[in-house]
Amino acid sequence: MRRPILAGNWKMNLTIAEATDFVRSIRRGLNEIKDVDRVLCPPYTALATVGELVSATEIEVGAQNMYWEEKGAYTGEIAPSMLKELCQYVILGHSERRAYFGETDEGVNRKIKAALAQGLKPIVCVGETEDQYDAGETEAVVSSQLRGGLTDLSAAQVAGLVIAYEPVWAIGTGKAATPAGAGAVIGMHIRGTISELYDESTAQAVRVQYGGSVKPSNVAEFMSHPDIDGALVGGASLKPDFVELVRIASEVASQIA
Nearer Cβ to ligand PEP (124/232):
232
Binding site for ligand PEP (CB under 6 A): 9, 166, 171-172, 211-214, 232-236
State in angstroms the smallest separation of the CB of 8 from ligand PEP. 9
Find the distance separating the first CA and the last CA of the chain, reported in whole Å. 8
> Rounded CA gap, 255 and 257, in Å?
6
Nearer Cβ to ligand PEP (51/212):
212
State in angstroms the smallest separation of the CB of 70 from ligand PEP. 27
Active site residue 139: no
Contact 118, 159 (CB under 8 A): no
Q: From the candidates 166, 189, 221, 225, which is the catalytic residue?
A: 166
Based on the number of CB atoms within 10 Å of its own CB, is 102 exposed (0-12), middle (13-18) or buried (19 or more)?
exposed
- Torsion, CA 14, CA 20, CA 25, CA 26, rounded to 10: 70
Q: From the candidates 94, 96, 103, 189, which is the catalytic residue?
A: 94
> Rounded CA gap, 5 and 162, in Å?
9
Nearer Cβ to ligand PEP (18/151):
18
Nearer Cβ to ligand PEP (115/214):
214
Active site residue 70: no
- Torsion, CA 141, CA 68, CA 115, CA 162, rounded to 10: -20
State in angstroms the smallest separation of the CB of 195 from ligand PEP. 25
Residues 6+ apart with CB under 8 A from 193: 142, 143, 146, 147
* Closest residue to ligand PEP using C-beta atoms: 234
State in angstroms the smallest separation of the CB of 73 from ligand PEP. 31
Tell me the catalytic residues. 94, 166
